[in-house]
Structure 1
Amino acid sequence: MTRAIGIALLNAISHYLITRDGLRLTQGDLKDEILKYVRPGCKACFIGSITPVAERVSEHCIVYQLERRSDLRHSGYPDIDAPLIVPNCDILVITGSAIINNTIDQLLTLRRRTQ
């Protein structure tokens, strides 16, 4: 709960600073950003349920989707398989849920040359 409140606070502060300083946000599409890193034969790992993006990337490379909740997993893998999968991937996409469930540090230590 503390992490969730902390993230909500960070969101509120960032919104305040953006508004106060008159900053403009650039809209983008996550799929397009990730596709910039896709190369033939690459392997991409998605941590968390982000199926629409993973499906789009799977048109270009091998995709592994790891999810803790079995009802959101679809054809993916349980998150406990991360130590076996993440080090072998070229692209690593982690959702914010990894901060909430306190796995972000472990996931980042597993990466090797991922982007």
Structure 2
Amino acid sequence: MIIDKLIDIANERSNGRKIKDIRIGVGYTCVMLDDGSSGLAYTFVNELGPCCGQLEEAGSMIGRDCTSVISWGKKDNILKSTVGVAAINAVIHSGIQEYETGNIINEVKNLNSYDTFGMVGYFRPIINVVKQTGAKTYVFERSGKYEGTTVPDWAIEMYLPQCDVVIITGTAIINKTIDHILEMCKNAREVYIVGPSTTMSYEAFEGYNVTKLAGSLVVEPKKALEVVSQGGGTMMLKDAIKNISVKVKGK
């Protein structure tokens, strides 16, 4: 599984760093390490439930070796998985030296009316641009609350293999659906994994037909912690993060 690769990579690069702070907000979760390196991951608030929304380890995580939390990335407890992926992102993103800047929207501007576009998750700004291209569009969304071209996520196997260009939310790493989704993207010419939860590790995604990883580098850790703990989302984090992308080798 991809999450296994990410855990191994993060553990190798952890260098004995400790957890300095953890904030679990209603929009995102942020983990800060003792050297200031920080990572984000989406908080699945609607899926926590009355019991899974609580951590027995609460109050005892600060000062722990970050590897003890990194391993949570594979937990079936969605909140622990979220904390784990945020810790993975804190470690891996702190070592990124080569990356591109710019908006991932530019990658879909050249779609044509004969293309079929698929989006797993919902990014309104991207959809607004895709609509202007005339491409046939499928948006796979679990909640089903969006109108127009939205189809339920269980329809991925029916329609995703038909898509030429695909954008996948990085939250699929947290809930471990990313491997199955990528299996359905074998016919696509371009595949992008997008959003603040995306782990920018090209090594983990080699061989999966992924073109580019587009995520967020936390550049103002204290600001990110404040925004997350006060219930902020992506837009409120804009001054604390830098949107970057990394090409997957071989693409």
- How many residues are paired up? 109
Q: Is the 8 Å Cα contact of residues 3 and 99 (structure 1) preserved in structure 2?
A: no
- The offset of 1:14, in angstroms, is 3.0
Does residue 54 (structure 1) correspond to residue 127 (structure 2)? The answer is yes
* Greater relative contact order (CA < 8 Å, ≥ 6 in sequence): 1
TM-score (structure 2 length as normaliser):
0.40
Matched residue of 1:58: which SS?
A: helix
Q: Structure 2: 5+ residue runs without aligned partners?
A: 1-78, 191-251
Task: State the Cα RMSD in Å.
Answer: 1.9
Partner of 1:41: 114
- The offset of 1:24, in angstroms, is 6.5
Moved beyond 6 Å, runs of 4+: none
Partner of 1:69: 143
Higher strand share: 2
Q: Is the 8 Å Cα contact of residues 119 and 138 (structure 2) preserved in structure 1?
A: yes
Q: Is the 8 Å Cα contact of residues 44 and 92 (structure 1) preserved in structure 2?
A: yes
Q: Structure 1: 5+ residue runs without aligned partners?
A: none
Matched residue of 1:93: which SS?
A: strand
| Larger Rg computed on CA atoms | 2
Identical pairs, percent: 28
TM-score (structure 1 length as normaliser):
0.81
